Chain A
C-alpha cells in the first residue's frame, strides 16, 4: 500500500468511524455480552453469577416460555400467509392502469406511516367488543353475537393478524416495484398464445417476481418472530398474545431475569436462523432468478 493509499484508507476509516464506534458499542458489545449473560444469573444491578446452562434447562420446564413459542408460531402461521397474499393482491390491483392510480397507491401506503402506537390505539377501539365499529358493522349485517376479539383468547391472535394487515404498505411497495420489472415481452407472448389473465399471473408474473416473494417471506418470518409493539400495547386475554419477544422483555426489564432473557434471545436467534434455512431449502424449486 502506497503512502497515499494508506492515508486515504485512514481518512475513509475516520469518516466511517462514527458508525463503527456506534456499531461496536451499541450492537457488537451487547450481542457478545448477552452470550455470556445467558449463562449467568444476572439481575442487571448485581454482578452476574455463572450458572452454566441453567437458564437454558429452565426454559425446557417453563410453561410460559412454551406458551410464548406456541403463540408466536400460531400468530405467524395466520399473519404471514395472510399478509403475503393480501399485499400481493393489493399490489396487483394497484398495478392496474386506472385513473388516480397514484392516489390509490398513496392511500394504501399511508397506514405504514402511522406510528405503531397510534395505530394500535385506534385498533383497540375498532376491535372493542361492545362499542367497536367492527362489531357494530357485523351486528348491522345480522351477526348478533360477534366475537370479542382481544378479550376472547380464541380470537386475540387472529385480531392481531388482522391489525398487521393494516401496515402491509411497505410489502405492497416492494411487490409493486417487482411487478414493474416483469418482462412485458413474456406477458405479450402469453397473451398472443391465448393465455387468460389468471394463467398469465400464475405462469408468468408469479415466477418472475418469485425472488421478491421469497424476500418478503424471509423478512416476514424474521419480523413475525419478533412481533412486539402492537401486541404489547393491545394485549390479549389470558396470555393469548404473549409472544416470544414480549416474554423476553418481561423477563429482562419487568422481572429482572436478564440472564434468562439473554438465553431466550439466543434461542430466538437460532430459531430464526433455522427457519430461514428451512425456507431457503423449501423455496429452491419455486424461486426463479433472471438468467437461471
Chain B
C-alpha cells in the first residue's frame, strides 16, 4: 500500500491537519499544536463528508 495523504485530528486539542500515512512504515504522531500523541487518522469517508 503506497503512502497517501490523510487527515489527522488531535483528540486532545481538536486541531486537524494533513499528513502522510504509510501503512507499512508507521511513524510516531504528535500534534503540531499541543504535542499530544492522541492523533486519530480520520477515515476517508469522514474527511469527504466534512
Q: Do A and B share a complex?
A: no
Q: Which residues of A contact B (CB under 8 A)?
A: none
